[in-house]
Chain A
Amino acid sequence: MPKAGAAQAARVTIRPHRSYRTLRVSRVSWLGSAVTLPIGVLLAYAALLVLWPRATAWMSALLAQSTPITRNVPDNFLFIASTVPIPNLPPLSVFGALDVAGLCAAAILLAGFYAKKNAPLPLWIIGNLIVLLITALWAFFEGRAGYDGPTYMLLLERTSVIMILCSPIFAVVVAALLPFTLLERVTLFTLLIALDFFMSVLRLAVFALILTHTGVILETNLYLFLGPLIDVVYFIAVYSLVVVSLSRRLARTEDAWEWL
């Protein structure tokens, strides 16, 4: 004879279908969103004011030691001081550009062949090769392409500053869609700003190093392809980590849901 407790434990819980559920409106969560927006932007700005000058100065000094052909110049953008490494770009060889264009065309054909079987990765490569091909042809016909070293690095540095300042805004807008806890919001913001900060400094150094050896021919790829890609990937990676945490919590919390 089954015990009463066992019968109770075996009670069937009828759950409505997943299409019938929404999330309970959490005023606390929305208030959290509203509050974290100005706080996030202010924190990002404060971090830039305090840490950006030191980080860029340290990175530039390190780069100047290891790469003698790099020099450093100060910049001040939105009252944020920085030291920007300026690579001495090798002079543009017009016929070298033609060689690059030819190599790119051949590589595009090769990658196009493989793109049929395993499309996304070859397409990423082809996309970059096309940009490189355009840049090389432009350099061949115009004798120049893109920016000189100082202007390019300043563009890159200022773009990074704007990205760091904007990332909290996008984090808040995206986070407003789901009932994150304060801890999850703080985690999202902290990881995002810290990674953004670290990756931006690293990007300045790596791009300067690359351009020291390759010259202007790679500027377009680095600025319009690889740069945004780095930002996108870690933004979504951090977001997905926090969303997994949220989803696991919601799965355990009955009263988080409303059923239609």
Chain B
Amino acid sequence: MVVALNAWLTVVIALMSIYTIRHWVFTFSRVYGKQRMSFSDAYEEHPPSVTVLVPMHNEEKVAEACLDALLASEYPKDQLEIVAIDDQSADATNDILHAYIERHPQVKILTMAGPERGKANALNVALESVQSDFVLVFDADYTPGRGLIRTLINAFVDPEVGAVMGRVVPRNTSRSLLTRLLSMERAGGYQVDQQARYNFNLLPQYGGTVGGFRRRMLAELGGFDPHALAEDTELTAKIFQHGWKIVYDNRAECYEEVPEAWESRFKQLRRWSRGHNRVLWSHLFGLVTAPVLTIPQRIDAALLMLCYAVPPILLSGWLAAIALFLLGRLPYVGGVTLAFAVVLYNAFGNFAPVYQVATAEVLDGSTTRLLLLPYLFYMFPFNTWAITTGFIDAVGDIVKSRRGRWDKTARVGNAP
């Protein structure tokens, strides 16, 4: 019993240490390393036709702002198709959209009728009528800048590129402590983590909210899994297994509304964790054995896929430590190492350790906001528990072969 507990504690500490080293190397690369950049100005003369899909479910508070931003895009109007997908909204979204297209006939509406619901299914249906070679997807709470579509689309000059992802920047940062902390997490995750993975030619993730893909590639891959809760992670896994590339463009910033209430954030994290862990179950083996991937890419794939399984593993490590303590068998070094592992890993937010967040904020030019760094630790039990519940949901889904339910993130819809 004691040997088993000690062995498990050692495994947990080793895993935490691996993530810590990984994040440190990524941060170092972003700050001092050679930065890999996407193409720019490639389609200056003859921009290709692009379809922008905006899936919406109960988005009455944000729908118009997103469409307004897309219509203000500097991309040639004759090459741009905008499709708002109303996925069985129960609020006024459908009325708002119909009123909107009367004023702006260039926007199209696709109204989904049951029985299936969910973003992946809505995208699949919408894609049946898309003619453009390139498709961009934005969530309805996003407000893309005027040049964003052109910036993103440049990545497809490389015929091996299957998808592109831009940087997510919260626009309601100043609303509350939660939004400020989420803004810091996002900075660490994109400005440092995604860029570093792109620098090292690892696996930058297609995020599904400010990005796009090549329509032909998606057709080859069989479209989205209609029951996926993390259709973006699932697509990322399929893209890399089939030898396509994903470009991360740090310059392609898009502004989103992060949750302003803890309850809403909890649901969002839980859904992400549930969806991501289902993808872990179905794609981990395929990714780590994919012959088209290099060894470092396979290692990155494993660490990427496991990232939403780490908090429950960390919790199990705590339980092992508690059991050893109660047995009076906690080794001096073991206890200390556990404490340090927790400190060093995500004690300070799930996907971005404190030094990664700090570095991202320094690169972004933040100053006083950095004083909030200790508060990232405040989120630790919150993130750990939200992700663990999502992990348990995913295990239940897999064991009972059940489909997940799409929990909508509540919108506020206020300007900053």
Contact = CB atoms under 8 A, between A and B. Distances in A.
A117 B263 contact: yes
Given A155-B335, A170-B344, A237-B374, A224 B365 contact: no
Contacts of A127: 381
A22 B31 contact: yes
Contacts of A174: 354-355
A189 interface: no
A247 B367 contact: yes
A120 B362 contact: no
A130 to B, nearest CB: 9
Interface residues of B, number: 62
B328 interface: yes
B251 A232 contact: no
Interface stretch (B22-30, B133-141, B226-234): B22-30
Nearest to B319: A134
Chain B interface helix/strand/loop/mixed: helix
A145 interface: yes
Contact of B328 (A19, A147, A159): A147
Interface in B258-278: 262-263, 265-266
B364 interface: yes
Given A118-B262, A134-B326, A236-B373, A178 B342 contact: no
B245 interface: no
A23 interface: yes
Contacts of A246: 362
A236 B380 CA distance: 14
Interface in B146-169: 167
B328 A233 contact: no
Contacts of B167: 19
A51 interface: no
A247 B362 CA distance: 6
A251 B367 CA distance: 9
Nearest to B262: A119
A59 interface: no
> Counting chain A CB atoms within 10 Å of each CB, which of B24, B326, B382, B385 scores highest?
B326
A131 interface: yes
Contacts of B174: none
Nearest to B342: A228
Interface string A8-45: 00000000011111110100000000000000000000
A158 interface: yes
A233 B374 contact: yes
A170 B31 CA distance: 19
Interface in A153-172: 155, 158-159, 162-163, 166, 170
Contacts of A247: 361-362, 365-367, 370
A148 B125 CA distance: 66
Contacts, number: 161
Interface string B9-44: 000000000000000100110111101010000000
A123 B385 contact: yes
A3 interface: no
Given A18-B363, A247-B367, A228 B373 contact: no
Interface in B330-379: 330, 332-333, 335-336, 338-340, 342-344, 347-348, 354-355, 358-359, 361-368, 370-374, 376-379
A248 B367 CA distance: 6
Given A120-B381, A123-B382, A151-B328, A243 B322 contact: no
B377 A178 contact: no
B20 to A, nearest CB: 9
A244 B335 contact: no
B354 A239 contact: yes
> Counting chain B CB atoms within 10 Å of each CB, which of A134, A229, A241, A244 scores highest?
A244
A134 B326 CA distance: 9
A244 B263 contact: no
Contacts of A228: 339, 342-343
A126 B315 CA distance: 14
Nearest to B372: A240
Given A177-B28, A231-B343, A244-B368, A236 B377 contact: yes
Given A22-B35, A177-B24, A134 B362 contact: no
B379 A120 contact: yes
Contacts of B27: 177
A236 B35 contact: no
Nearest to B364: A18
B82 interface: no
A220 B322 contact: yes
B251 A17 contact: yes
Given A117-B263, A170-B344, A173-B24, A146 B354 contact: no
B339 A227 contact: yes
A243 B326 contact: no
A207 interface: no
Contact of B332 (A146, A159, A229): A159
A223 B325 contact: yes
A235 interface: yes
A246 B365 CA distance: 11
A200 B318 CA distance: 22
A241 B368 CA distance: 9
Contacts of A191: none
A170 B27 CA distance: 15
Nearest to A225: B318
Given A19-B250, A19-B253, A223-B335, 6 more contacts: A134-B322, A134-B326, A220-B326, A231-B343, A237-B373, A247-B361
8 contacts: A22-B31, A22-B32, A120-B262, A123-B382, A159-B332, A177-B359, A224-B322, A224-B338
